[in-house]
Structure 1
């Protein structure tokens, strides 16, 4: 999914379940920030304090060889945050046919995804819990959107005969898809943004030689109902009252997913923001804004960093507000999530990635 799914759609579902605006905003911001937390390393402060953070995504500029050909880096970013291994839907101790790579292929709502959700709930009393919920919702949503692909460079991710039935793909994009498929089959890179555009109907031949037909609207709606259920479980565990499913709200979601058809995710995001501002959903009108970097972003509020990328030489001014900042809580949650996925959950399924 892209920003319209991870931010505005997650916010909408959280509000539908019964979260109030502030909590829903934290969950939704965190869900999207997984795609925008591209800096890692040590943040140093003028009083001698330090804070270590990890990245959950990399910038896609020119497919930076430093990151995208580093197998271990792929394992630490793409596997736990974007292409959660599915073990072919099998339980711990069971092995799919076809070797280790078939353990790594993403599968919607797998048993591994269930374990991830359970691990998240164990942090319910922690200051970073809502941020971790957002991170978990990001990964859970991507098990639907990214199904059939693995977060490593492997021939299983190759894409041939890429076609869209309700979208005109340019010759340039077809050429780009073919080049990536042959030279760098990582994740769904060779399928470009086809898995992430909610209105798209498309098909391709995968690395196993199988023809795959995808109706993203159907897939995204399945994701929505399941995300709603998981967010309801979270709210219930927090002691809140979970709303009954409102079919008119789900119909509005389907209408938005189907009709916001621009291939630019930022345009679709604005369409969603306007829909929510109009009061199209039962929770009423709300004004939303997502600022990932720079002034008024979570990062800026925490350390007053205006630049999108850190040099590693910055010395930030420490304030007592930093400890409880959303940005710090997000990165604490990010580290907790990765630790649990890589060290506690995947090994139960015979998957060692780091």
Structure 2
């Protein structure tokens, strides 16, 4: 999924579940920032303090460094949560190990992830962790059928639209998408070969995967279910009855899916924010904002822009850094990866550490 859902829709669902405007903004911001926290390394301060940030995404289009893109500690916990074929812990799917790694919507693994998140709601980074969990949770619908490893299950052929029309220019566009990669070497990592089809809310499509299986996808139906189940997650978190979204909000969300048919997520987000600003979702009028990088971003507010003595990544320290949204996001990301890699996945016989 893209920024219109990870930020805009997530904000609407959080408000519908009972979070305040500002709480919803933190949750939605953290949810989207999972896709934007691409830097790595240690932050150094002028007083000798250090802080190690967490990389939660790679610049997916830059396949010149394919080795780093295969980093399972990024793709698996933050983008392609293993689904264990929809089976509970202690049960194994038939077939090869890849069936355990294949992403499945609302799996037992995803439910365990939610429970671990709720168990940490007393932490200073609780809402940031909830936003990260939200991102991964709804991506189990968008990324279903794919895995966060380089494997034939991710190979895509014969993409068709809902009218059964074959995308005859698919291979050329994939080759252009992954620059500097010859067509025969296009990696089968995540849903890269499917381009943005798994992420577009309005898309009806089908394809054949590398195992020869025909796959039908109806994104509007799947994504509405994701929004409803996300609302139940938030209601559970707040201790409210898990009733999901009210019907009028469901209808508004589906309207957005079916009406905002442009491929650019930023353009679709602007339309979501316009509707939110007018109070059209029935949760009150508000103007949430998201800045990924630069002035006004979480990182800018936490660290400023002034480097000390021209030394790269060396910043002036202030106590406010310790409670900044940027640091709390990275604290939450560390907790999330620990939850997935060290606590949850071993219950299912999955080791990716």
1:193 paired with 2:196, answer yes
Alignment gaps of 5+ in structure 2: 176-181
Alpha-carbon distance change, 9 to 312 in structure 1, aligned in 2, over 3 angstroms: farther
Q: Offset at 1:244?
A: 7.5
Q: Deviations over 1:24-83 (max 9, x none)?
A: 00000000000000011100001110001110001124323254554xx1x100000000
Q: Per the alignment, in what secondary structure is the counterpart of residue 160 of structure 1?
A: strand
Q: Offset at 1:306?
A: 8.3
User: Residue 146 of structure 2 corresponds to which residue in structure 1?
Assistant: 149
Alpha-carbon distance change, 245 to 163 in structure 1, aligned in 2, over 3 angstroms: closer
1:300 paired with 2:300, answer yes
User: Residue 78 of structure 2 corresponds to which residue in structure 1?
Assistant: 81
User: Residue 330 of structure 1 corresponds to which residue in structure 2?
Assistant: 329
User: Residue 179 of structure 2 corresponds to which residue in structure 1?
Assistant: none
User: Residue 178 of structure 2 corresponds to which residue in structure 1?
Assistant: none
1:62 paired with 2:62, answer yes
TM-score (norm 2): 0.92
Higher mean alpha-carbon deviation, 245-254 vs 256-265, is at 245-254
User: Residue 318 of structure 1 corresponds to which residue in structure 2?
Assistant: 317
1:203 paired with 2:206, answer yes
Residues 1-354 of structure 1: pairs in structure 2 closer than 5 A: 1-68=1-68, 70=70, 73=71, 75-165=72-162, 173-177=170-174, 183-236=186-239, 245-305=245-305, 313-354=312-353
- Preserved contact between residue 69 and residue 153 of structure 1 (Cα < 8 Å): no
Q: Per the alignment, in what secondary structure is the counterpart of residue 233 of structure 2?
A: helix
Alpha-carbon distance change, 231 to 337 in structure 1, aligned in 2, over 3 angstroms: same
Provide the rounded CA distance (Å) in 2 between the counterparts of 1:257 and 1:195. 13
Q: Offset at 1:180?
A: 6.5
Provide the rounded CA distance (Å) in 2 between the counterparts of 1:282 and 1:271. 16
Q: Deviations over 1:86-142 (max 9, x none)?
A: 000111121111111111000001111111011111111110000000000000000
Q: Per the alignment, in what secondary structure is the counterpart of residue 64 of structure 1?
A: helix
Q: Offset at 1:156?
A: 0.9
Q: Offset at 1:168?
A: 9.1
- Preserved contact between residue 120 and residue 133 of structure 1 (Cα < 8 Å): yes
Alpha-carbon distance change, 181 to 156 in structure 1, aligned in 2, over 3 angstroms: farther
Alignment gaps of 5+ in structure 1: none
Provide the rounded CA distance (Å) in 1 between the counterparts of 2:293 and 2:165. 32
